[in-house]
Amino acid sequence: MHTIQFPPPFPFPKQTRSLVFCDFDETYFAHESTAEQRKDIQQLEDFLYKASQQYGFQIGWITGSDTCQLLSKVKQADMRFSPHFICSNLGTEVFHVLMDGKIEPNQCWKKRLPNHYEFQRTTDEVVSELKNMYQIDLVSQSQYGQSVYKKNYYYFIRSSVLTAYHINVMKQVAATHGVGLNINRCNPKAGDPEYAYDVDFVPKEANGKDAVAAFMCHWFKVHVDDTLAFGDSGNDIKLLKFVKHGYLVGNATSEAQSKHEQMTKGSYTKGILEMLKKHYTQVTE
Protein backbone atom coordinates (compact mmCIF):
# COMPACT_ATOMS: atom_id res chain seq x y z
CA MET A 1 0.00 0.00 0.00
CA HIS A 2 1.30 3.46 -0.87
CA THR A 3 1.94 5.76 2.09
CA ILE A 4 0.69 8.83 0.23
CA GLN A 5 -2.55 10.07 1.79
CA PHE A 6 -5.39 11.95 0.12
CA PRO A 7 -8.52 13.42 1.71
CA PRO A 8 -11.16 10.78 2.46
CA PRO A 9 -13.19 9.59 -0.53
CA PHE A 10 -16.82 10.38 -1.17
CA PRO A 11 -19.19 7.90 0.52
CA PHE A 12 -19.21 4.51 -1.18
CA PRO A 13 -22.52 3.26 -2.57
CA LYS A 14 -23.92 -0.04 -1.30
CA GLN A 15 -23.99 -1.22 -4.90
CA THR A 16 -22.09 0.41 -7.77
CA ARG A 17 -24.54 0.84 -10.64
CA SER A 18 -22.74 3.49 -12.69
CA LEU A 19 -19.33 5.13 -13.10
CA VAL A 20 -18.22 8.71 -13.67
CA PHE A 21 -14.75 9.33 -15.14
CA CYS A 22 -13.11 12.76 -14.94
CA ASP A 23 -9.91 14.11 -16.37
CA PHE A 24 -8.16 16.13 -13.68
CA ASP A 25 -5.97 18.95 -15.05
CA GLU A 26 -8.08 21.75 -16.54
CA THR A 27 -11.24 19.67 -16.07
CA TYR A 28 -11.78 18.88 -12.38
CA PHE A 29 -8.90 21.15 -11.36
CA ALA A 30 -8.32 24.64 -12.76
CA HIS A 31 -4.66 25.61 -12.61
CA GLU A 32 -5.56 29.24 -11.93
CA SER A 33 -7.28 27.97 -8.78
CA THR A 34 -9.08 31.24 -8.08
CA ALA A 35 -11.31 31.69 -5.03
CA GLU A 36 -14.38 31.30 -7.24
CA GLN A 37 -13.04 28.10 -8.80
CA ARG A 38 -12.30 26.63 -5.38
CA LYS A 39 -15.88 27.47 -4.37
CA ASP A 40 -17.14 25.71 -7.52
CA ILE A 41 -15.21 22.59 -6.49
CA GLN A 42 -16.87 22.65 -3.07
CA GLN A 43 -20.31 22.88 -4.69
CA LEU A 44 -19.48 19.84 -6.83
CA GLU A 45 -18.19 18.01 -3.75
CA ASP A 46 -21.41 18.77 -1.86
CA PHE A 47 -23.40 17.22 -4.72
CA LEU A 48 -21.15 14.17 -5.05
CA TYR A 49 -21.23 13.53 -1.30
CA LYS A 50 -25.00 12.99 -1.44
CA ALA A 51 -25.46 11.67 -4.97
CA SER A 52 -22.81 8.93 -5.00
CA GLN A 53 -24.69 6.92 -2.37
CA GLN A 54 -28.18 7.92 -3.47
CA TYR A 55 -27.65 6.96 -7.11
CA GLY A 56 -25.09 4.22 -6.63
CA PHE A 57 -22.16 5.58 -8.61
CA GLN A 58 -18.42 5.81 -8.10
CA ILE A 59 -16.35 8.64 -9.52
CA GLY A 60 -12.70 8.47 -10.52
CA TRP A 61 -9.96 10.60 -12.02
CA ILE A 62 -8.15 9.44 -15.16
CA THR A 63 -5.19 11.76 -15.44
CA GLY A 64 -1.72 12.24 -16.86
CA SER A 65 -0.48 13.45 -13.47
CA ASP A 66 1.15 11.13 -10.96
CA THR A 67 -0.18 10.74 -7.43
CA CYS A 68 2.33 13.16 -5.87
CA GLN A 69 1.44 15.86 -8.39
CA LEU A 70 -2.24 15.17 -7.77
CA LEU A 71 -1.92 15.51 -4.02
CA SER A 72 -0.16 18.86 -4.38
CA LYS A 73 -2.98 20.18 -6.58
CA VAL A 74 -5.64 18.73 -4.28
CA LYS A 75 -4.15 20.75 -1.43
CA GLN A 76 -3.83 23.86 -3.61
CA ALA A 77 -7.55 23.71 -4.44
CA ASP A 78 -8.60 22.98 -0.83
CA MET A 79 -10.40 19.81 -1.88
CA ARG A 80 -12.16 18.12 1.01
CA PHE A 81 -12.79 14.76 -0.66
CA SER A 82 -11.10 12.37 -3.04
CA PRO A 83 -12.72 10.28 -5.75
CA HIS A 84 -13.31 6.59 -5.17
CA PHE A 85 -10.50 5.59 -7.53
CA ILE A 86 -7.56 7.26 -9.28
CA CYS A 87 -6.09 6.20 -12.63
CA SER A 88 -2.85 8.17 -12.72
CA ASN A 89 -0.04 8.55 -15.25
CA LEU A 90 -2.49 8.37 -18.19
CA GLY A 91 -4.22 5.36 -16.72
CA THR A 92 -1.10 3.21 -16.47
CA GLU A 93 -1.65 3.10 -12.69
CA VAL A 94 -4.92 2.26 -10.95
CA PHE A 95 -5.51 3.02 -7.27
CA HIS A 96 -8.53 2.60 -5.03
CA VAL A 97 -8.91 5.28 -2.36
CA LEU A 98 -9.52 3.78 1.08
CA MET A 99 -11.69 5.30 3.79
CA ASP A 100 -8.71 6.95 5.49
CA GLY A 101 -7.43 8.49 2.23
CA LYS A 102 -4.62 6.01 1.67
CA ILE A 103 -4.44 4.52 -1.81
CA GLU A 104 -4.18 0.85 -2.75
CA PRO A 105 -2.99 -0.31 -6.19
CA ASN A 106 -5.20 -2.59 -8.25
CA GLN A 107 -3.05 -5.68 -8.65
CA CYS A 108 -5.12 -7.11 -11.51
CA TRP A 109 -4.38 -4.03 -13.61
CA LYS A 110 -0.68 -4.21 -12.77
CA LYS A 111 -0.53 -7.81 -13.98
CA ARG A 112 -1.87 -6.78 -17.39
CA LEU A 113 1.12 -4.53 -18.06
CA PRO A 114 4.42 -5.77 -19.56
CA ASN A 115 7.79 -6.04 -17.84
CA HIS A 116 8.81 -2.43 -17.19
CA TYR A 117 12.43 -3.01 -18.21
CA GLU A 118 11.27 -4.33 -21.57
CA PHE A 119 8.93 -1.36 -21.97
CA GLN A 120 11.78 1.07 -21.20
CA ARG A 121 14.09 -0.64 -23.70
CA THR A 122 11.48 -0.60 -26.45
CA THR A 123 10.58 3.04 -25.83
CA ASP A 124 14.25 4.03 -26.03
CA GLU A 125 14.48 2.21 -29.37
CA VAL A 126 11.48 4.13 -30.71
CA VAL A 127 12.86 7.52 -29.64
CA SER A 128 16.27 6.66 -31.09
CA GLU A 129 14.79 5.51 -34.40
CA LEU A 130 12.70 8.67 -34.71
CA LYS A 131 15.79 10.82 -34.18
CA ASN A 132 18.30 8.90 -36.30
CA MET A 133 16.13 7.83 -39.21
CA TYR A 134 13.53 10.61 -39.42
CA GLN A 135 15.25 13.57 -37.70
CA ILE A 136 12.37 13.86 -35.24
CA ASP A 137 13.74 15.33 -32.02
CA LEU A 138 11.64 14.66 -28.93
CA VAL A 139 12.46 16.63 -25.78
CA SER A 140 12.07 14.71 -22.53
CA GLN A 141 9.68 16.23 -20.01
CA SER A 142 12.20 15.53 -17.30
CA GLN A 143 10.96 18.40 -15.12
CA TYR A 144 7.88 16.28 -14.34
CA GLY A 145 9.80 13.06 -13.90
CA GLN A 146 9.26 9.86 -15.84
CA SER A 147 7.05 7.10 -14.48
CA VAL A 148 7.63 3.39 -14.95
CA TYR A 149 4.99 3.03 -17.66
CA LYS A 150 4.65 6.55 -19.08
CA LYS A 151 7.47 8.31 -20.92
CA ASN A 152 6.72 11.97 -21.62
CA TYR A 153 8.19 14.10 -24.39
CA TYR A 154 7.52 17.39 -26.16
CA TYR A 155 7.44 17.72 -29.91
CA PHE A 156 7.96 21.35 -30.92
CA ILE A 157 6.09 22.60 -33.98
CA ARG A 158 8.08 23.93 -36.93
CA SER A 159 5.45 23.94 -39.67
CA SER A 160 1.97 22.49 -40.05
CA VAL A 161 2.94 20.30 -43.01
CA LEU A 162 6.04 18.89 -41.32
CA THR A 163 4.16 18.37 -38.07
CA ALA A 164 1.43 16.34 -39.78
CA TYR A 165 4.08 14.17 -41.44
CA HIS A 166 6.04 13.69 -38.21
CA ILE A 167 2.93 12.75 -36.22
CA ASN A 168 2.10 10.09 -38.78
CA VAL A 169 5.66 8.75 -38.63
CA MET A 170 5.59 8.64 -34.82
CA LYS A 171 2.37 6.64 -34.88
CA GLN A 172 3.74 4.17 -37.41
CA VAL A 173 7.07 3.63 -35.64
CA ALA A 174 5.40 3.19 -32.24
CA ALA A 175 2.92 0.70 -33.71
CA THR A 176 5.73 -1.26 -35.36
CA HIS A 177 7.46 -1.63 -32.00
CA GLY A 178 4.21 -2.48 -30.18
CA VAL A 179 4.22 0.63 -28.00
CA GLY A 180 1.15 2.72 -27.20
CA LEU A 181 1.31 6.40 -28.14
CA ASN A 182 -0.72 9.44 -27.12
CA ILE A 183 -0.18 12.70 -29.01
CA ASN A 184 -2.15 15.85 -28.33
CA ARG A 185 -1.63 19.59 -28.52
CA CYS A 186 -0.12 21.09 -25.38
CA ASN A 187 -2.28 23.27 -23.15
CA PRO A 188 -0.36 26.30 -21.81
CA LYS A 189 -2.96 26.67 -19.04
CA ALA A 190 -1.70 23.39 -17.63
CA GLY A 191 1.90 24.64 -17.65
CA ASP A 192 2.94 23.30 -21.06
CA PRO A 193 4.78 25.24 -23.79
CA GLU A 194 2.50 26.90 -26.35
CA TYR A 195 3.75 25.65 -29.72
CA ALA A 196 4.23 22.00 -28.91
CA TYR A 197 2.61 18.59 -28.66
CA ASP A 198 2.59 16.21 -25.73
CA VAL A 199 4.03 12.87 -26.85
CA ASP A 200 3.46 10.09 -24.33
CA PHE A 201 4.63 6.51 -24.77
CA VAL A 202 2.71 3.92 -22.75
CA PRO A 203 2.24 0.13 -22.91
CA LYS A 204 -0.15 -0.84 -25.70
CA GLU A 205 -2.28 -2.54 -23.03
CA ALA A 206 -2.93 0.90 -21.51
CA ASN A 207 -3.04 2.96 -24.68
CA GLY A 208 -5.67 5.65 -24.19
CA LYS A 209 -7.85 6.59 -21.25
CA ASP A 210 -10.59 4.43 -22.74
CA ALA A 211 -8.50 1.31 -22.03
CA VAL A 212 -8.43 1.84 -18.28
CA ALA A 213 -12.07 2.98 -18.31
CA ALA A 214 -13.03 -0.34 -19.92
CA PHE A 215 -11.07 -2.16 -17.21
CA MET A 216 -12.86 -0.23 -14.46
CA CYS A 217 -16.24 -1.08 -16.00
CA HIS A 218 -15.25 -4.76 -15.96
CA TRP A 219 -13.90 -4.47 -12.42
CA PHE A 220 -17.10 -2.95 -11.02
CA LYS A 221 -19.38 -4.98 -13.35
CA VAL A 222 -20.90 -1.79 -14.75
CA HIS A 223 -22.20 -1.73 -18.34
CA VAL A 224 -20.84 1.01 -20.59
CA ASP A 225 -24.42 2.31 -20.97
CA ASP A 226 -24.16 3.42 -17.34
CA THR A 227 -21.07 5.60 -17.69
CA LEU A 228 -20.30 9.32 -17.94
CA ALA A 229 -17.02 11.14 -18.56
CA PHE A 230 -15.64 14.67 -18.65
CA GLY A 231 -12.49 16.07 -20.25
CA ASP A 232 -10.95 19.14 -21.83
CA SER A 233 -8.22 18.11 -24.26
CA GLY A 234 -7.23 15.84 -27.13
CA ASN A 235 -6.16 12.94 -24.94
CA ASP A 236 -9.66 12.77 -23.45
CA ILE A 237 -11.48 12.17 -26.75
CA LYS A 238 -11.18 8.37 -26.80
CA LEU A 239 -12.55 8.27 -23.26
CA LEU A 240 -15.46 10.58 -24.09
CA LYS A 241 -16.39 8.45 -27.09
CA PHE A 242 -16.07 5.20 -25.12
CA VAL A 243 -18.62 6.10 -22.44
CA LYS A 244 -22.36 6.49 -22.99
CA HIS A 245 -22.35 10.18 -22.06
CA GLY A 246 -19.08 12.00 -22.72
CA TYR A 247 -18.72 15.76 -22.37
CA LEU A 248 -16.05 18.34 -22.95
CA VAL A 249 -16.15 21.05 -20.30
CA GLY A 250 -16.74 24.63 -21.44
CA ASN A 251 -13.05 25.55 -21.26
CA ALA A 252 -11.97 22.71 -23.59
CA THR A 253 -9.15 23.26 -26.07
CA SER A 254 -9.95 24.08 -29.68
CA GLU A 255 -8.30 20.80 -30.72
CA ALA A 256 -10.68 18.84 -28.51
CA GLN A 257 -13.72 20.81 -29.68
CA SER A 258 -12.89 19.94 -33.28
CA LYS A 259 -13.08 16.23 -32.41
CA HIS A 260 -16.09 16.02 -30.08
CA GLU A 261 -19.43 17.81 -30.14
CA GLN A 262 -21.02 17.23 -26.73
CA MET A 263 -19.98 20.08 -24.47
CA THR A 264 -21.09 21.66 -21.21
CA LYS A 265 -21.96 25.34 -20.93
CA GLY A 266 -19.99 25.78 -17.73
CA SER A 267 -16.23 25.49 -17.40
CA TYR A 268 -14.32 23.12 -15.12
CA THR A 269 -16.39 21.79 -12.19
CA LYS A 270 -19.32 24.04 -13.09
CA GLY A 271 -19.67 22.08 -16.32
CA ILE A 272 -19.30 18.74 -14.53
CA LEU A 273 -21.97 19.67 -11.98
CA GLU A 274 -24.25 20.96 -14.73
CA MET A 275 -24.39 17.57 -16.44
CA LEU A 276 -24.35 15.42 -13.31
CA LYS A 277 -27.49 17.22 -12.14
CA LYS A 278 -29.16 16.34 -15.45
CA HIS A 279 -28.27 12.66 -15.15
CA TYR A 280 -28.70 12.30 -11.38
CA THR A 281 -31.72 14.33 -10.35
CA GLN A 282 -33.66 14.68 -7.11
CA VAL A 283 -30.66 14.61 -4.80
CA THR A 284 -31.98 14.77 -1.25
CA GLU A 285 -30.89 17.72 0.82
- Over the range 257-269, which residues count as b (16 or more CB within 10 Å of their CB) and which as e? eebbeebbeebbb
CA separation (Å) from 72 to 32, 75, 78, 140? 14, 5, 10, 22
> What are the helix (H) ranges across the chain?
35-54, 67-76, 107-112, 116-134, 160-177, 209-220, 237-242, 254-257, 268-279
Specify the 3-state DSSP secondary structure of 67. helix
> Is 23 a catalytic site residue?
yes
What number of other Cβ atoms are within 10 A of residue 131's Cβ? 12
Distance CA 88, CA 73 (A): 13
CA angle 155, 192, 169 (to 5 degrees): 20
Catalytic residue from among 23, 40, 66, 210 = 23
List, in order, residues 6 or more apart from 176 with CB less than 8 Å away.
none
- Residues assigned a catalytic role: 23
